[in-house]
Amino acid sequence: MDGTQAALPSAAQLPGRGAKISLVDLEKRFEGVGAVRGISLEIGSGEFLTLLGPSGSGKTTTLMMIAGFETPTDGDIAIDGHSVIGLPPHKRNIGMVFQNYALFPHLTVAENIGFPLKQRGVDRATRTRMVADSLAMVRLPGYEARYPRQLSGGQQQRVALARAIVFQPRLLLMDEPLGALDKQLRESLQLEMRRLHADLGITFVYVTHDQEEALTMSDRIAVVNEGRIAQLGRPEELYDRPSSRFVASFIGESNFLSGVVRGMEEGLVVADCSGTTVHALAAEPLLIGTEVTLTTRPERMRFADTAFPLTGRQNRVRATVTEAMFAGERCRYLLRGEDGAAIVLKEPSGAGTRRRAVGEATEIAWSVADTVVV
């Protein structure tokens, strides 16, 4: 072991169990093409941060730069205040869970989990104990002697997780760790990872393209698009106050109305959308005459005559039902506004609601507080 002195410390050695990470103007170009184009991000100790974005957005490249598998073309990465540029991956002391787990097929579960301990010169007896502990932690006690191919996808996932945390790193990176699993398994493992995060108290950086996964698990989400951070915030912030059309459509479903600003009123934007006046929240005052896109979520809209009234100030538009689909817990309607714009409305199913017929003329309403200028 030549590098233990230079390596980053493990969780036991520093106050605050999680590492603090700062990315400063991080850039990565592959043969001139920018994959990451200036990402700056402060990740707090013990935070669960998710990099969310479509494939090719640069989220995985960013993760690989933190892990040390890619060298930034420009910018800096600091962990606990020390720049790690030039530090090889094996000296960074970062746990990592790979996309298809990357379990060593020629080693047993115990040998896989013991691998990082062996690299660190931990003696056999201690290794055995620590492997058993971490298997217990991921709820797979007694699986030591199996080979990866003898495990189900979910079990392989847990072993990969155990292997990545057994050496008590202060930072755990995860690259789409649940991508290969079916929906039900994914949901139960999401819960488990949250629990693990709470138990360990270390920093998690999680990469996914699944917005639902990001919303359920993260403390904060950085939405990445075309090599840049499109928006950074808590899940509720991103969902309720998307800052751009990209974020609004990438996270959840959104309706978009285009309009022209007519004025400001009590901090709200008053816009004219094809003759209908709509009020919306805006991050900053807008000039009269500015063309804007307003967005709102389908499940925040109601038919104006429904039995569930909205509170506070409302926007209302007239529309015609063009399609109605029953989907169990809710009904999904496709409507056409008077200006021809398509609108999606989701209504919870139940005794208080009435199924609308295709062709029915109706009025829909939603809270001004649920309307955002993007």
Residues within the interface to another protein (CB under 8 A): 2-3, 7, 67-69, 88-96, 98-100, 102-106, 115-116, 119-120, 163-164, 167, 173
CB of 232 to another protein, least distance (A): 26
Q: How far is the CB of 10 from another protein (least distance, A)?
A: 10
Q: Which two tokens stand for residue 58?
A: 């640069």
Q: Between 62 and 225, whose beta carbon lies closer to another protein?
A: 62
Nearer to another protein, 95 or 337 (CB): 95
Task: Give SS3 for 287.
Answer: coil
Residue nearer to another protein on the CB measure, 160 or 364? 160
Parallel/antiparallel/unpaired status of strands 314-326 and 203-208:
unpaired
Place of tokens 């590492």: 19
- Distance, in Å, from the CA atom of 138 to the CA atom of 159, rounded to the nearest integer, reads 8
Q: How far is the CB of 189 from another protein (least distance, A)?
A: 19
Q: At what angle do helices 109-119 and 153-165 cross, to 10 degrees?
A: 20
Token pair of 136, please?
């217990």
Report the distance separating Cα 301 and Cα 296, nearest Å. 8
67 or 135: CB nearest another protein: 67
Which is nearest to 205 in space by CA: 57, 45, 92, 38?
45
Least CB distance to another protein at residue 36 (A): 18
If the CB atoms of residues 13 and 258 are measured against another protein, the closer one turns out to be 13
One-letter amino acid at 311 equals: T
C-alpha distances in Å from residue 12, one per residue of 71, 121, 325: 28, 17, 55
SS3 annotation, 154-189 = HHHHHHHHHHHHCCCCCEEEEECCCCCCCHHHHHHH
Shortest reach from residue 116's CB to another protein, in Å:
4
CB of 180 to another protein, least distance (A): 12
Query: What is the token pair recorded at 323?
Result: 């399609």
135 versus 215: smaller Cβ distance to another protein: 135
Q: How far apart are CA 339 and CA 337, in angstroms?
A: 5
Closest distance to another protein from the beta carbon of 89 (Å)? 4
DSSP 103: -
99/274 with CB nearer another protein? 99
* Least Å from the CB of residue 1 to another protein: 8
**Element of type H or E holding 200:** helix 183-200
Q: Which is nearer to another protein, 167 or 366 (CB)?
A: 167
SS3 of 75, please? strand
